[in-house]
Structure 1
Amino acid sequence: MTERRAVLSSSTFEEQIGYARAVVDGDWVHVSGTTGFDYATMTISDDVVEQAEQCLRNIEVALAEAGCTFADVVRVRYLLPDRADFEPCWLVLRRCFGDVRPAATMLMCGLADPRMKIEIEVDARRRIPPHGGATSNHSEAPVVPVGAYEPPYYVAVFTTVRAQDQSGFSETNARMEDLVKDVPGYLGMEHAQTPGGLGITVSYFRDAEALTEWRTNTEHRAAQKRGRAEWYQSYTLHVAKVERSHGFTREPGPTAG
């Protein structure tokens, strides 16, 4: 069955009007028209370039929750009440889309709030790797595994299926990724997500003490509790001690002249 789920943000408009920040439908991700409001404070700048930057930050969060990035965007629509405001935004837009070159359309139209000077809507297609394997959530970077650490060490493998309401997940997840770096003995982390919606996070720790410190961290435990209550349809945690580890990286071959 094709996956269909909603990605929600902290925007009050979504609740008031009845829509999602984005909808994942199979491999496709459709991000709603997104304006320059900072959804954490529901404030908006008077400057159109700053609004464009905030639009893109909001879109980036939605794409990440859907399992993709700006590199996966195939179409962009720009909506502005004043055509003169479009060109000042080009540099900001080019930073996100200059290498991707999605199809794009600019439309002049009125927006819902007179403070809004630009609205951006995108469609993306999640990449399916060969043989149906997992796809990285960070596809703008080279896809490489973490290094082979010197054993013994510990791994925590967290597999998840998300619930429909993901309000606040991205912010909390980013906070957890920063917080775990402060744990002595933390080695690294990698993520993957299948096109069907199964998420996999593997965390590496030098010893059991480091793993225990992270497991019992007060802020981490609060996030776990919220995850069970709101964000996960189901999850499984596997913890293991690694006794053997090795890796391989193919050297780049000669390029054609």
Structure 2
Amino acid sequence: MTIAATPAAPYYAVIFTSLRHADTDAADDAYATMAALMLHSAARQQGYLGVESAREQVGITVSYWSSLEAIARWKQDSEHLLAQQLGRQHWYDHYMVRICRVERDYGFARADASA
């Protein structure tokens, strides 16, 4: 995973924060499969800009979008609707979705980071 290469602000961020339900290895496999499918499916959506994700006890996925309309289309995507349903039924004890407008961004990248 890398840090998403987003365009100049403004753009939008969808922050999905989750607590997984303790379950079996089979559920973990199904979850991982669905998570990979969602990353692939989101990347095909008009207005998608990138994603960053991390999981320990709390999972945090931040996806970046060009507009609120693009976010609304993604929320209603048929594969995404199925993932939302399965998440509520099987995988999550709790989750929050937060949508933010990114007004400014800046960063640092070491020139020799790949060495």
Normalised to the residue count of structure 1, the TM-score between the two structures is 0.40
- Structure 1 unmatched ranges of 5 or more: 1-137, 139-143
Q: Does 1:150 align with 2:12?
A: no
Partner of 2:52: 190
Q: Is 1:209 aligned with 2:39?
A: no
- Aligned-partner residue type, residue 16 of structure 2: F
CA contact (8 A) 1:185 1:210 kept: yes
Q: CA deviation at 1:148?
A: 4.4
Q: Cα offset for 1:145?
A: 2.3
Q: What whole-Å deviation, never above 9, does each CA across 1:120-158 have from its counterpart, x for those lacking one?
A: xxxxxxxxxxxxxxxxxx5xxxxx422342111110011
**Aligned AA for 1:193?**
R
Q: Which has the higher contact order (CA 8 A, sep 6+)?
A: 2
Amino acid at match of 1:245: D
State the 4+ residue runs in structure 1 displaced beyond 3 angstroms: none
Q: Residues 51-90 of structure 1: CA distance to partner in whole angstroms, max 9, x if unpaired?
A: xxxxxxxxxxxxxxxxxxxxxxxxxxxxxxxxxxxxxxxx
Structure with max Cα Rg: 1
C-alpha separation between the residues in 2 aligned to 1:236 and 1:218?
A: 20
Q: Which ranges of structure 2 fall in alignment gaps of 5 or more residues?
A: none
- Counterparts of 1:32-71 in structure 2, within 5 Å, are none
What corresponds to 1:28 in structure 2?
none
Task: List per-residue Cα deviations over 1:30-63 (Å, max 9, x = no partner).
Answer: xxxxxxxxxxxxxxxxxxxxxxxxxxxxxxxxxx
- Tell me the residue number matched to 2:105: 245
Contact 2:6 2:50 in 1 (8 A): no
Q: Is the 8 A contact 1:148 1:246 kept in 2?
A: no
TM-score, with normalisation over the residues of structure 2? 0.86
- Quote the Cα distance in structure 2 between the aligned partners of 1:244 and 1:162: 31
Higher fraction of helix:
2
Tell whether the 8 Å contact from 2:6 to 2:49 is kept in structure 1 after alignment: no
- The CA deviation string for residues 142-186 of structure 1, in whole angstroms up to 9 with x for no partner, is xx4223421111100111111012611111111111111111110
For residues 110 and 44 of structure 2, the distance between their equivalents in structure 1, rounded to whole angstroms, comes to 32
Partner of 1:160: 18
Q: Pairwise CA RMSD of aligned residues?
A: 1.9
Identity over aligned pairs, percent: 35
Measured after TM superposition, the shift of residue 251 of structure 1 is 2.6
Q: Secondary structure at the match of 1:245?
A: coil
* Aligned residues of 1:153 and 1:241 also touching (Cα < 8 A): yes
Cα pair distance change 1:239/1:246, threshold 3 Å: same
- Partner residue in 2 for 1:19: none
2-structure distance, mates of 1:187, 1:243: 15
From 181, 187, 192, the counterpart of 2:43? 181
